[in-house]
Amino acid sequence: MSKPVVLIAEELSPATMQALGPDFEIRHVDGADRSALLPALAAGVDAVLIRSATQMDAEAIAAAKGLKVIARAGVGLDNVEISAATDAGVMVVNAPTSNIVSAAELAISLLLASARFVSPANAALKNGKWARSKFTGAEVFEKTLGVVGFGKIGQLVAQRMQAFGMQVIAYDPYLQPARAAQLGVQLVSLDELLKQSDFITIHLPKTKETVNLIGEEALRKVKPSVRIINAARGGVLDEAALYNAIKEGRVAGAGLDVFAKEPCTDSPLFELDQVVATPHLGASTDEAQERAGIAVAVSVRKALAGDLVPDAVNVKGGAVHEEIRPSLPLVEKMAEIATAYAGGLPQTMEVSVLGEIAVYDAAVLATSALKGAIETTVDEDVTYVNAPKLAEERGMSATVKNDPHCEQFRSSIKLHIGMADGRSFDVEGTLVGIRKVEKIVSIDGFGLDLSPGKHMIFLRYMDKPGVIGAMGSELGKAGVNIAGMQVSRREIGGMALMALTVDDHVSENILEGVKNTTGADLARTVDLEK
């Protein structure tokens, strides 16, 4: 079997190659060279690893034969057309936490350099000028720092600047006040932040809502002594408005690492001693590059194995909590079993998250259920990216609800499926012990203690003597070895369910023989690993 092909489109750290390991065929291309990139993609690749110079737009994605994952070794995804990737069933992953320390440290560096005129003083001294009186700066001690966007990087900056004796306020409409309180930070409106801050640092993505958020109007609300730092995304801070504000004495200075158009080498801002600027160096540390490379390499391995990647940006359900993550494969298997048991695709699926894990966001389990169900009926690859679309095409839906009440276990997952013909039943599973061992504990009201196996048989029949022996005899004649067996019944002489794990795939002919010999009203096989 040929190895999956990974295309490296830009220079990455040696640690990236090490993290990928020997399981892939590695190819290289200059991703910035369009004439080289498109043929390399068309030659057939399973994954492409990029940084910021490679444009993975609709044209490139359409050209990519067999592409399953685009991995950006960094945070920003401006160079990836995510909607086109999603339509094509291609997972898009990045390394959202790889450079957060580096980015936070650069923002702080720019803040301090701006406060003390480090850049122009350095330039003057190297040009033979001892200009001490010209570069009188300002302390940060007991000053107010306004953080615009209080995500991971904004929080790191806040924590570090509190150690400098700064009071920190923040603007973030999506932040829970409890998190801000934990960090000793006061949440305020943007207007209040602009009015109160001695220093402002921006940590927002560039979106339709944030373009020029700090513009002419905002810069007329600030203190004339304020210094503004942008090491996040160019375009959030209006550079023309900033230039005018500094020239007119309404802003004291700025520290900039990002610009609306990059590369940027001729901005009027560069003429001002009050501005310290760097060429988008936020992630440019050895440590950040190594972390980013390792992170996306791990993501590529998971994606090509068909697993959910927590850092996938185009998978419904968002980030996955570590307490929910072990339930993903369990729900997939439960959905596969339910679909096989029902003899067709469900129309509706409801995933109930019960017990202690119900406090966590488990929305992604809906996609797990859809993926598991559809995988049993199609030959094409089903991923966390394309499962929702494939489900929509088939008239399927899945929902998730959380309930802290769980009767038998500390936590469990119950999957309720509804068929188009009106039939419905439940499959319940749980994870046992420190190792999170998967168990199916109930199917269609029959209690079980079943570890899902690679090959399984389910037999529903009227409880009577001789059925187990007949089953064993029939499989023995067919050369099928039984690895495990459980029988559950609701009452003596009533309906019973036999669940078997076997060593090999059981053909339809063998299954039909078993059904006829035992008199079962339902006989199904499930192959959980294809």
Q: Which residues are tagged catalytic?
A: 233, 262, 280
Side-chain half-sphere exposure of 474, counting CA atoms within 13 A: 20
Contact 227, 219 (CB under 8 A): no
Task: For 495, list phi and psi in degrees, rounded to 5.
Answer: -70, 140
Separation of alpha carbons 59 and 259, rounded Å: 26
Contact 97, 76 (CB under 8 A): no
Q: At what angle do helices 327-342 and 365-375 cross, to 10 degrees?
A: 40
Q: What angle is formed at CA 483 by the lines to CA 482 and CA 484, rounded to 5 degrees? A: 95
Separation of alpha carbons 40 and 62, rounded Å: 13
Is 318 in a helix, a strand, or coil? Answer: coil
| Cα distances (angstroms) measured from residue 279 to each of 180, 210, 230, 255, 257 | 31, 21, 12, 11, 6
| Cα distances (angstroms) measured from residue 232 to each of 6, 53, 173, 269 | 30, 18, 17, 17
Strand arrangement of the beta sheet that strand 411-418 belongs to: 397-403, 348-355, 411-418, 424-432, 437-443, 446-450
Separation of alpha carbons 360 and 35, rounded Å: 47
Side-chain half-sphere exposure of 357, counting CA atoms within 13 A: 26
Separation of alpha carbons 525 and 527, rounded Å: 7
CA 306 to chain centroid: 14
Is 334 in a helix, a strand, or coil? Answer: helix
| Cα distances (angstroms) measured from residue 411 to each of 328, 359, 367 | 14, 11, 20
- Closest to 114 in 3D by CA, of 93, 150, 139, 90: 139
Structure tokens at 345: 């695709």
Contact 35, 15 (CB under 8 A): no
Alpha helices in 26-90 (DSSP H): 34-42, 58-63, 82-87
Phi-psi label, residue 507: left if phi above 0, alpha if psi -120 to 50, beta otherwise: beta
Amino acid in position 529: E
Residue 324 buriedness (CB in 10 A; 0-12 / 13-18 / 19+): buried
